[in-house]
Amino acid sequence: MALPRQLPGRLPRNYLPVLVTGALFIAMFTAGGIRYEGFATGQIILNVFIDNAFLLVVAVGMTFVILTGGIDLSVGSVVALTTMIAASLLPSTPSFLVILLVLAIGGVLGAAMGAIIHYFEIQPFIVTLAGMFLARGLCYTIGTDSIPISDPTFTAIAQTRIDLAPELWISPTVLIALAVVLVATYTLHYTRLGRNVYAVGGNEQSALLMGLPVARTKIAVYTISGLCSALGGLLLSFYMLSGYGLHAVGMELDAIAAVVIGGTLLTGGSGYLLGTVLGVLVLGLIQTVISFEGTLSSWWTKIVIGLLLLVFILLQRLIVTTGVSRER
C-alpha cells in the first residue's frame, strides 16, 4: 500500500475525507443538541449504533469491495434472503445450524460472483446486479408474506440490553458489529490480504506484474462482502424478528453511500474502515434529526444523503486531481 501523500501542515492527503466526515458528524450532533431538547446525550449516539448495526456490517463488506475498485449491488437482497431462510428454517432447525447455513450461503454467493467477475472479465456492476435479482427472487420462492421469528435464541438476543452506565445501554448486535469492524480493520492494515486489496484497487495491472494473487484477492473480497451481508441479515433478523422478501430494499445504496461519505474512493485503492463507521453514523444521525424534527417526511433523508454524496464525490475528485498535479 502506498504511503499517503502529505497536505500542507503535514496532514496526509488520504486522511482528509475521514476528517471531514468526522467533523460533519460532530457538527450535526452539536446542531441537534442546540435545536432539540434531549438530543445531545450519549444514548442518542448509542441508539444510532443499535438501529444501524446491520448496515454497519454490510458497509464493512462493501468497503473491501470498493477498495479493489469494484461494487456489490447484491448485498441488500442477500440480507433479505438471509432473513427469509432463517425465519423459514428456525421452527424446525436448531438456531446455530441456521446461523452457520446462512453465513455459508452468503459466502458462497459472494465467492461465485467474485470468480465470475475475474475469470470471465465481466463488470462487477453487471454480475452483482444479476446476484441482486437472483437473491431477491429466491426470497419470493420461499414466501411472499412476512414470516415471524419466535425462536428463543433469536428472541433472547433481540431483547437483551447491555448496560454501560446509568441510562446508557446497547444491544448485543452492536458488539457483534464492532467486533466485525475490529477484525476487518486488522485484516486490511496488518495482513497480506489487506495489502493486496489496496494494491489491486490502486492498479490491478501493476499488481499482476508484481506477482500478487489478484484472482484470489478479488474472490476473497466478494466472499467477505457475501459473509458480511449474511451476517447483516442475521442482525436484521434479531432487530425485526421476522423474515420478509422486502427487507433491506435499497440497503446496497445505503452501504455504498456510507462507504463513499466515509472517504473511500470509488475508483479503489484508498480508504479506511474508520471512515465507513463515521459514514454509517452520519446516515443514522440524519434519520435521527429528521425524526426529532417531526414535521419532515422521511424522504428528506434521501435528499440529504444525495447532497452529501455529491459533496464527497467532488471532494474525492479534488483530492485525486491535486495528487496528480503534485506528481507532475
Contacts of 119 (CB under 8 A, 6+ apart): 215
* pLDDT confidence of residue 7: 47
CATH number at residue 41: 1.10.3470
Cell matching residue 41: 446525550
* pLDDT confidence of residue 3: 42
Domain tally, the chain: 1
- Residue 122 located in a structural domain: yes
pLDDT digit string, tens, across residues 150-160: 999 999 999 99
- Residue 112 located in a structural domain: yes
Q: Which residues partner with 27 through β-bridges? A: none
What does the chain come to in residues?
328
Q: Which SS3 state, helix, strand or coil, does residue 9 take?
A: coil
* pLDDT confidence of residue 319: 67
Residue whose C-alpha cell reads 452529501 in the numeric block: 308
Domain that holds residue 234: 6-327
Q: What CA–CA distance (Å, rounded) separates 176 from 195?
A: 25
* pLDDT confidence of residue 294: 77
| Mean of pLDDT over the chain | 91
- Residue 299 located in a structural domain: yes
Q: What CA–CA distance (Å, rounded) separates 183 from 25?
A: 24
Q: Considering only residues 226 and 306, tell me which one the structure prediction assigns the higher pLDDT.
A: 226
Q: What CA–CA distance (Å, rounded) separates 160 from 257?
A: 30
- Residue 149 located in a structural domain: yes
- Residue 244 located in a structural domain: yes
- Residue 52 located in a structural domain: yes
Is 70 exceeded by the pLDDT of residue 51? yes
Comparing 92-106, 177-191, 233-247, 284-298, the range with the smallest average pLDDT is 284-298
- Residue 144 located in a structural domain: yes
- Residue 1 located in a structural domain: no
* pLDDT confidence of residue 301: 81
